[in-house]
Structure formats: structure tokens, C-alpha cells
Amino acid sequence: MPSRNRRTGSIRRSRSRRFGESAFGVLLVARTGLMALLALLLLVAGVWTSWQTARYAMLAKGRERGTMTVAACAADRCTGPFVPADAGGKRQQVSVAQTAVKKGERVAVALRPDSTRAVRTGPGGVLHAWVPFGGSLLLAALVVAGGLRLRRTAWAMGLLGAALLGAAFATL
């Protein structure tokens, strides 16, 4: 039985009990830090992946832009003739991700530097480029809700991710 402090009247805990309580506190802090790091890693990976495509769809400076008419689709890419927006550019066959277009459609695209790969521009292309970030928001929301116990923040992240994914597929 724990002894009482004569001066204050409070119960004194044993040294092993105090050590156990502090070790449990360290484990709680470590778990919270690990979950926060995992959520941050998910978000950074989503932004990094999205930015690889979004920078071509969003930023016009130094990019060759024009229109592409989708002629054929195979596997995960669709190809078609590219007509540059400026008259000085040359016509060529380019390819774009199949999920961003439909066969026979004419879309505005931007070419990746030194490549025949194109990225769809405009609202639909920009939203489609940010789909990986929307998915990472949904995954990070689960980590924030379960690991960090921040329910409102998790709901906000999840709803934002779902809205981004919904808007991307609604504009295609």
C-alpha cells in the first residue's frame, strides 16, 4: 500500500510506478509523433506525385501548347495529331493519358519538354493532375482520425479529398 506524505497528505507512489507512468507517456508521445509523420508523408507523396503532371497543366511559361485530336487508344495512352497554338510549331503525333480523354475528342494539351507526351490543360486537366493528392488526402484522413484522434480535422481532409476526386471525374 502506498504511503502518505506527512506534510501534504497526498499519496506517494513508488519509484517503479512513477517510472512506468513516464514510460507510458513516452510511448504515447512516440505514437502520436509517428502517426503525424505518417500523415505528413502521405500528403507530401501526394503533392509530389501530382506536381509532376500539374506543373505542365498549370504553368504556361516555356511550354508548347496546342490541341490534340484523339485518334486511337491502347493500353493506358491515347495518341493523335498535335496542332500547336503558335503557327511556328511543327505538327507531330503525341500521346496523353487515357483517363484524361475520350476517343474522337479534341482537347487542349501542353507538351512535356523533349517528349511526345502531352498533358491535358484547362480545368479538367488541372483537376485530373491533382487526383493523387486527393487520394492522399483520403488516406491521411484515416491516419489522422485513427492515430491522432483528430476527428474534425480528419473529416475536413476526407471531404476535401473526396471533393477533389469528384470534381476531377465530373470534368472529364
With a cut of 80, say whether residue 36 has pLDDT above it: yes
Q: How far apart are CA 112 and CA 15, in angstroms?
A: 65
| Amino acid identity at 95 | S
Kindly state whether residue 9 falls inside one of the protein's structural domains.
no
Residue 2 has pLDDT above 70, yes or no: no
CATH number, domain with residue 87? 2.40.50
Angle 104-57-47 from CA coordinates, rounded to 5°: 125
Q: Is residue 141 part of a domain?
A: yes
SS3 sequence of 147-164: HCCCHHHHHHHHHHHHHH
| Residue 50 within any structural domain of the chain | yes
> Are residues 67 and 116 both part of a single domain?
yes
Same-domain status, 147 and 163: yes
Residues 85-125: tens digit of each pLDDT? 877 667 788 988 887 677 888 989 998 888 888 998 889 88
For residue 122, the tally of other CB atoms under 10 A from its CB is 14
What's the domain range around 69?
A: 61-120
| In-domain check, residue 6 | no
Helix (H) or strand (E) holding 96: strand 92-97
Cβ neighbours of residue 91 closer than 8 Å, sequence gap 6 or more: 81, 82, 83, 84
Query: How many angstroms separate the Cα of 101 from the Cα of each of 2, 53, 97, 98?
Result: 73, 15, 7, 6
Assess whether 46 and 71 both reside in one domain: no
- Is 5 within the bounds of a domain? no
65 and 116, same domain (yes or no): yes
Q: What is the pTM of this model?
A: 0.80
Shared domain check, 114 and 65? yes
Whether residue 67 sits in one domain with residue 49 = no
| CA atoms of 172 and 162, how far apart (whole Å) | 16
CA–CA separation, 36 and 32 (whole Å): 6
In a domain, 22, yes or no: no
Quick one: 92 and 73 in the same domain?
yes
CA gap 31, 67 in Å, rounded: 51
Whether 8 is in a domain gets the answer: no
Asked if residue 16 belongs to a domain, the reply is no
Shared domain for 52 and 68, answered yes or no, is no
Region of 104 please: left (phi>0), alpha (psi -120 to 50) or beta.
left
Do residue 79 and residue 103 come from a single domain? yes
Checking if the pLDDT of 60 tops 90, the result is no
pLDDT of residue 91: 72
Number of domains in the chain: 2
